[in-house]
Amino acid sequence: MKASDFLYHRPESVPQVLGLLRDYAGGARILAGGQSLMPMMNLRLWRPAALIDIGRIPDLERLEQKGDVTILGPRFPYWRIENDRVIAERLPLLARMVRKVGDRQVRNRGTIGGSLVQADPTGEMPLGTLILGATIHAESIRGRRAIPVEQYFLGSYATAIEPDEMLVAVEYPRHPAYFSFAEVNRRHNDFAVVSVAVAGDRAADGTWHNLRIGLGGVDETPVLALAAMRRGEGTLLQAPDIAQMGILAAEHIDPPDDFRASADYRRHLTRVHLTRVLGSMLASAGFREE
Amino acid sequence: MSDSSNQIEICFEINGRQVTQTVPVRMHAADFLRHQIGLTGTHLGCEQGICGMCTISVDDRPVKSCLMLAVQLDGAKVRTVESLAPDETELHPLQAAFKRHHALQCGFCTPGFLMLARSFAGRRMNRAEIAEEISGVLCRCTGYEGILRAIEEWLPGTWTDASLSDEAGQ
C-alpha cells in the first residue's frame, strides 16, 4: 500500500523541529532513516498529519567520547554501529547485536534514535541500550531532560518520549568488560522469539560484578532479569550459579503466547539461552564453564 | 526551512544524469522512479521493507526504495538496475554471471539482487558472508544456489578493477 497524505517539513535545526512538534501537538512524526516509520505508514497503521524530516540537520550523526561515556546522536546509523572502530572498542555489545537488525539495506538507512523511539519489544538496539544502562536525552520547547533507560520503555512500541519531545542523544556509560548475546528467530531476519544479552565485569579474584542481564521478546518491553542479576552478583558464576540464574530468569517473566511461540516455550528458551550466554561470557573472560 | 506543501521540487542524480522534478511528498522513491522517471527496472513487491525487490543504490549504499520518500532523494546520487549494462546488446559482468549460473527464473527479484550484489564490488567475501549479505532480497524460484554461484564468480573480477573503486562501499 501507499502512505496516506501528510504535510512535509524539512527543518534545518533542532529548535525548528521542536517548534513544529509543539504546533502539531502529537500529530507529527519525525522521519530519520524511515526503516520503522515507512512500513507503518505504507501499511496505514499510522497516518500522521505531518512528517518532520530531520535528514538535513547537521550534527545529528555525531559520536562523542567523554572519558568512559559515549554519546550517539539520534541519526547515528546502524551501519556505523556495525563498522565503526570507535564503537567496536567502546560499545562492542551494540556492534555485536546490530548485525541482527534487519538486513543490509535496512542497516544502511536505520538509526539508533529511530529504533529507540519505535521501541519494538523484540528490538536489538532497545535491549542493548537497556543492558548498557544508557540515558536517553529528550528535548522540547519546555526544555531538556534525561531519562534513565530503565524508565524509558513504557510498553509495546511506547516510550517516555512526550508528543512534543525529540530524542536528541543517547548517552552510554562505561561499557562492562565482558558481554554475550544470543537470539532465537523462526526465520533469518525475523523478529526475535527470545533474545538474551548479558554484560559484566570480573574482579581479580574471579568474582563477577555490575552484572546486567536483559531479555527481549518476553514482555511488552525489553526487561532486566533482576532476580537473576542479584543471584549472580559477586559470585564466580560457577555452574550451579548459572543454572539457578537461568531458572530465576524464566520464573520471573510473563511472556506472550503468540504465533511465534508459546509462553512455555519462551520460558524454556530464556532459561536455556541465559545459561548459554553466561557460559560464553565466562569463556570470553578465559574461563570454561564447568 | 522548506514550507509544508504536498508537492516539493527535488534535484538529484539518476544513473549519471541530473534531474529536477516536482514530486508529491507522500510518494515513495520506487513509485517515483517507475512512474515519474520511467525507470521500471526497479520492481515492487511488498512495499513494507521485507522482500527487497525495490533495492536501489543511494549515495553508493543499497537501500529499499519503498522505505524512502521520493523527497529524500533530493541531492542524492541514485543508481538503478538500468545503470548496469553499458548498452542494449551487452550485459554488465554481474548480469552475465547471473545468466551463466541460472541465477534467475522469473526474474522479478533480479534487479534487487543485482543492485545489492553490485555494492559488494571490491570486497573479499566467502559464501557464508555472501549468503548473509543477500538475505534482504527474497527469491521464490531459484533456491538461491545459482545466485550465490554467480556472485562468487563475479566478485574476484572486481578486486583489481579501479573503475569500480568509487562505488565499492557497503
Are the Cβ atoms of B26 and A104 closer than 8 angstroms? no
Is A58 among the domain residues?
Answer: no
Domain containing A32: what range? 7-53
Chain B residues within 8 A of A3 when measuring between CB atoms:
26, 28
The chain B residue lying nearest A43, using CA atoms, is B48
Contact A82, A95 (CB under 8 A): yes
Q: Tell me, what amino acid is at A195? A: S
Chain A residues within 8 A of B67 when measuring between CB atoms:
34-35, 38-39, 42, 106, 109
| pLDDT score of B3 | 44
Is A100 among the domain residues?
Answer: yes
| pLDDT score of A286 | 85
> In the 3-class helix/strand/coil scheme, how is chain B assigned residue by residue?
CCCCCCEEEEEEEECCEEEEEEEECCCEHHHHHHHHCCCCCCCCCCCCCCCCCCEEEECCEEEEHHHCEHHHHCCCEEECHHHCCCCCCCCCHHHHHHHHCCCCCCCCCHHHHHHHHHCCCCCCCCHHHHHHHCCCCCCCCCCCHHHHHHHHHHHHHHCCCHHHHHHCCC
CATH of the domain at A216: 3.30.390.50
- Count how many Cα atoms sit within 13 Å of the Cα of residue A131 in the half-sphere of its side chain: 30
Q: Which residues of B7-28 are buried (b: 16+ CB within 10 A; e: fewer)?
A: ebebebebbeeeeebebbbbbb
| pLDDT score of A290 | 44
Residues A48 and A67 in one domain: no
Last residue of a domain, one of A123, A152, A172: A172
pLDDT, greater one: B5 or B116? B116
Residues A150 and A72 in one domain: yes
Is A263 among the domain residues?
Answer: yes
> Would you call A118 an interface residue with chain B, using a CB distance cutoff of 8 Å?
no
> Would you call A53 an interface residue with chain B, using a CB distance cutoff of 8 Å?
yes
Sheet harboring B55-58: ordered strands across? B17-24, B7-14, B77-79, B55-58, B61-64
Are the Cβ atoms of A34 and B25 closer than 8 angstroms? no
pLDDT, greater one: B162 or A158? A158
| pLDDT score of B168 | 43
Sheet harboring A63-66: ordered strands across? A63-66, A69-72, A166-172, A135-140, A143-148
Based on its alpha-carbon atoms, the radius of gyration of chain B, rounded to whole angstroms, reads 16
Is A289 among the domain residues?
Answer: no
CB–CB contacts below 8 A, A to B: 103
Contact A131, A212 (CB under 8 A): yes
Mean pLDDT by 10 residues, chain A (290 residues): 94 98 97 97 96 96 97 98 98 97 97 97 97 98 98 97 98 98 88 95 96 96 98 97 97 93 96 97 77
Chain A residues within 8 A of B116 when measuring between CB atoms:
104-105
| pLDDT score of A189 | 77
Residue the block writes with cell 512526550: A162
Number of structural domains in chain A: 3
CATH of the domain at A101: 3.30.465.10
Interface of A with B in 90-109 (CB under 8 A): 102-106, 108-109
Is A2 among the domain residues?
Answer: no
d(CA A164, CA A21): 5
Interface of A with B in 19-48 (CB under 8 A): 31, 34-35, 38-39, 42-43
d(CA A222, CA A195): 9
Residues A190 and A276 in one domain: yes
Q: Which domains does chain B have, with CATH numbers?
A: 7-83 (3.10.20.30), 93-158 (1.10.150.120)
Nearest to B55 among A53, A102, A105 (CB): A105
The chain B residue lying nearest A38, using CA atoms, is B67
